[in-house]
Structures are given as structure tokens and as C-alpha cells.
Amino acid sequence: MVVAATAIAPTGYRVGVAEPDSFLRALSDLDTALDDNIARAKLMKKRIAQIRRERAAGRSYRQIVETETSPLLVQLITASRRALDEPGARIRRTEALALHDEGMTMEQIAAKFGVTRQRVSGLLRDARSDPA
């Protein structure tokens, strides 16, 4: 049975619509990226402990890096940062649009986000042109 209402159900799904709204999809993508970053963070913590042990054993940083297998600690840090870039940008765009669609002004959104009204205007423009 399909209901024609457009109210938001507590689960975040629109009543009568099969898939979550764009903000919830962006949240799911961010959740996945965070899970990936948790795995990278665990590996980074192991690398940190390993580097400390090797330094305590008298090895130089050069010796440590030359024998270290990929990905290096710096590569993991870069991957973690990059993993959040796109989902984070989508969160900003889709949340701004959802709030604006629900009646918040650009000034109110800007105050909540800690950005300028002009930045919110850009987020809204990008969100409306985003096919996702």
C-alpha cells in the first residue's frame, strides 16, 4: 500500500517513498567512510607502536621507513582525510538544503554551521544541482 503523504516518518523515510532522502543517504555514506577510517586508525596505532619500538631499539627513522611495508603512516593519514572529504561535503550540502526546505533561513543555517550566509547560498546552489 502506497501512501500519498509527504510527512517524514521517524525512520527518516518519506511516507510512500521507497528510499531515504538525500541527507540520510549522505549520512549512510559518511557512516561507511567512518567505518573505513576506524580500520585505518587501528592500523595507524599499530604503526605508531611499531615505530616507537624500533626507535627504542636504536633504529633511525630512515631505517624504519626503508623497511616499512605500504601503506606508510603518512599514506594512511592522507587516505583518512580524503575518505571524509566527499561525504563531508555532501553532508554540508544536503543538510543545508533539508534545513532550508524546512523553513530555516540562510542566516540561521549559517549561524548553526559557523559559516557565512554566502557560503550557505553556495551550499544550497550546489545541493540543488547535485544529481545524488
For the chain, what is the mean pLDDT? Answer: 86
Task: Give per-residue pLDDT as tens, 17-31.
Answer: 334 689 999 999 999
Cα 71 → chain centroid: 22
Q: What would the DSSP string read from start to end of 109-125?
A: HHHHHTS-HHHHHHHHH
| 58, HSE (Cβ side, Cα atoms, 13 Å) | 0
Whether pLDDT at 106 is above 70: yes
Tell me the average pLDDT across 48-70.
Answer: 95
Whether pLDDT at 91 is above 70: yes
What radius of gyration do the chain's Cα atoms show? 22
Domain ranges of the chain: 27-127
Task: Give per-residue pLDDT as tens, 31-40.
Answer: 999 999 999 9
- Pair 30, 87: CB distance under 8 Å: yes
Tell me the average pLDDT across 72-90.
Answer: 95
